[in-house]
Amino acid sequence: MKKALSIVLAAGLLLAGTNAFAQISVGAGYSNVTQRIKASGINKDITMHGLYAGMDYSIPVSENISIVPGLYYEFSNGSADKLLNIGVASALLKGRLEEHYIDIPFKFMFSIPYQGNKFFAFAGPTANIGVSSKLKGDIKVLGFELKGDIFDLYDKDIFESMDLMLGGGVGADIGKMLRVTLGYNIGMFNRLNLDNTTAQDQSDSSSSSSFNVGKLIRDNATINRQQFYVGVAVLF
C-alpha cells in the first residue's frame, strides 16, 4: 500500500508537466517536527527543527479549485534524549537525531482572488519517504556501541522508512511572483518497526546503559510524526 501510494503521487507530479496552464512554484521554508512516542506508561514528544526545499505545480480544474502535486526534500535535527532514555529513571544517555526525507504532496487547493493577490486554503496527503534517520552520541543499541559515531535507524530496521501524512493549511500569492504558505501535517503510520525480532529480544537488563528498543516494541509503542511548517516560494 505504501509503495503504491508513492508511485501514484509521483506519477501525478510527472503528469503535471503536460498541463499548459500549470503554474510552477519553487520555494523553501522552516519546519517544526514533533515525534510523539506513546506506550504503556509513556507519553513523550521529541521536538526537532528543520528546513525543506522543492517545487510544486498548481493545475487548475475550475476557476477556484486546483490540484497541486509537488516534490520536496526535508531535513530535521534535534535532541534524542527522550527517545534514548525510554524506561530509564534518569536521563543517562545523550544523543541527537538527524533525519532526511523526500516528500511527495498531492494537495487540493481552493483560492479566492482579491485586489491583485490570491488567498487560498489547501488539504491533502503527502507520501513521506525516509532517506536516513541517524542517531549520534555515546550510546549502546542492539549490541552496537557508539562513541560519537552515527547509527542509522533505517539500516537496523528500527524505524519504518515510509509514512503517509495528512494535513492542510493556508497561504497567499502576493502579486504574481511570491507565495507564502503555512501548514500542518500528521503522520498516519507507526514509525516503529514492531516486526524487528532482533530488537524484541533485547534484554530489559540493559536499559540502564543502552537504548532499549526492545521495551518499545514489546509494549506495542507508537511513534508518530507531526509537522508544522512555514515557507515562501517564487511563482513562475
Exposure of 36 in the CB half-sphere (CA atoms within 13 A): 11
Res 44: pLDDT: 85
- Among 236, 235, 190, 234, which Cα is nearest to 216's? 190
Cα–Cα distance measured from residue 52 to residue 229, given in angstroms and rounded to the nearest whole number: 9
- CB of 38 within 8 A of CB of 226? no
Cα–Cα distance measured from residue 213 to residue 81, given in angstroms and rounded to the nearest whole number: 14
Classify each residue of 81-110 as buried b or exposed e, where b means 16 or more C-beta atoms within 10 Å of its C-beta: bbbbbbbbeeeebebbbbbbbbbbbbbebe
Q: How many CB atoms lie within 10 A of CB 150?
A: 13
The model's pLDDT over 78-117, given as tens digits with 9 standing for 90+, comes to 988 777 766 554 445 678 889 999 999 999 999 999 999 9
Cα–Cα distance measured from residue 187 to residue 158, given in angstroms and rounded to the nearest whole number: 17
The domain spans of the chain are: 2-235
pLDDT-wise least confident of 36-50, 87-101, 173-187, 203-217: 203-217
CATH fold of 2-235 reads Porin (2.40.160)
Confidence of residue 21 (pLDDT cuts 50, 70, 90): low
Q: What is the pTM of this model?
A: 0.82
Cα–Cα distance measured from residue 127 to residue 124, given in angstroms and rounded to the nearest whole number: 10
Q: How many CB atoms lie within 10 A of CB 166?
A: 13
The model's pLDDT over 182-208, given as tens digits with 9 standing for 90+, comes to 999 999 999 988 886 555 555 444 444
Instruction: Flag whether pLDDT at 76 surpasses 90.
Output: yes
Instruction: Flag whether pLDDT at 209 surpasses 60.
Output: no
